[in-house]
Amino acid sequence: MPKQKLVIKVTAGADAPERCSQAFTVAAVAVASGVEVSLWLTGESSWFALPGRAAEFELPHAAPLPDLIESVQAGGRITLCTQCATRREITEQDVLEGVRIAGAQVFVQEVMADGVQALVY
């Protein structure tokens, strides 16, 4: 049986902290459970592709965002949306090590593959 894959697109950042935290938490738990995870940062969550930005995020009774990102990176992939990065003047030289920048075509390829579950937060 092929390994299950979960593609999570998070559109929320500090503007909607609970939704944002839920996306990162689900991604980290899925990785810890052995699920192949692809986490896409779009919209306001794009800022968390930058070093130090996750440490500024605060939500009571939630796991620290830097820890969740580290967990996802340990066994999954984090992608920053190309257009979102461009709008924020974020380049590949700016992002955390291991974060790729890719566009809608790559996202569609990922979510249309067999055995993939996609979630959007």
pLDDT along the chain (121 residues), means of 10: 86 96 98 97 98 96 97 97 98 97 97 96 96
Place of tokens 């940062």: 41
d(CA 107, CA 110): 5
Place of tokens 């605060």: 58
pLDDT attached to residue 1: 52
**Strand locations in 1-121, DSSP E?**
5-10, 36-41, 77-81, 100-102, 116-120
pLDDT attached to residue 2: 57
Is the distance from CB of 71 to CB of 28 less than 8 angstroms? Answer: yes
